[in-house]
Amino acid sequence: MEPRPGAAFADLNKEAAKDAFMEVVDLRRSVRAYTPTKVSEEDLEMILESARWAPSGENAQPWKFIVVRDEKNKEFLSMISKRGSGRRFTGEFLSKQMQKRFETLQDEEKRRRAFAKLTSGEVSAFVSQSDVIVIITGRKEVWDLPFDTSAAIEHILLAVTAAGLGACWLVAPCIDIRDEIKLNEYFGIPEDYKTISIISIGEPAGRYPNARPRNKLSDIVYSEKYGDAYYKEEE
């Protein structure tokens, strides 16, 4: 895919493009259950191509992407993701952040089960189910590495959705530096690279996830100074 020349951009059907774009944005979810169906090479290439065209500070393009399809390697990523999530959520439980997050959940038994699932790390162990896992790693020396790779990752998530597939962005295997070192060693990632995240990609299985709640524009967009709502909430 080469960038469109300017003249072609002028021909863009804006209404159709806006509709198609917002449809993809609306449809994107973190998908955590997958069928065994293979992701085609054509779709995978389109997805990775979208990452290649992501913006980066000074156009540094500090990223490398490792496509993981081998079962043993996916199992390793699943194990290390489970461990990372377990540590993070145990930390949140011990610091009472988790209890605060779930304070509206009144049912004691449901709370207990949610805490047990989160602190076990089980929530991030699903990745081996997906047909493909992409590891996103990049040059440590690049100033904007986390921003650059995040831009590439979001391109991937949207491209996956446009291809009718599902994906989940996971930071779980790289939260803890000890896990990141193990992951880097396992996949032969050089020392001057930092692994930022992994993305599971596959055909969604079962019920497509509901959209998770989002804050309203009237709560998050300000006019000229912090706190003055740009969008007034309708009466």
Ligand X SMILES: Cc1cc2nc3c(=O)[nH]c(=O)nc-3n(C[C@H](O)[C@H](O)[C@H](O)COP(=O)(O)O)c2cc1C
Q: Kindly state whether residue 33 participates in binding ligand X, applying the rule CB under 6 A.
A: no
For the residues of 139-171, what is the DSSP string, one character each? Answer: ETT-TTHHHHHHHHHHHHHHHHHHTT-EEEEE-
Among 17, 25, 30, 45, binds ligand X (CB under 6 A): 30
The footprint of ligand X on residues 143-182 (CB under 6 A) is: 168-172
**Smaller CB separation from ligand X, 176 or 181:** 176
Q: Kindly state whether residue 123 participates in binding ligand X, applying the rule CB under 6 A.
A: yes
Name which of 17, 29, 16 is nearest 164 in CA terms. Answer: 29
For residue 24 the two structure tokens come to: 């993809």
**Smaller CB separation from ligand X, 12 or 22:** 22
**Alpha-carbon distance 2 to 32, whole Å?**
32
Q: Kindly state whether residue 124 participates in binding ligand X, applying the rule CB under 6 A.
A: yes
Q: Kindly state whether residue 99 participates in binding ligand X, applying the rule CB under 6 A.
A: no
Q: Kindly state whether residue 51 participates in binding ligand X, applying the rule CB under 6 A.
A: no
Nearest residue to ligand X on Cβ basis:
172
Whose tokens are 């779930």? That residue is 102
Cα dihedral across residues 202, 213, 98, 229: positive or negative: positive
Q: Point out which residues bind ligand X (CB under 6 A).
A: 29-30, 32, 85, 123-124, 168-172, 209, 212
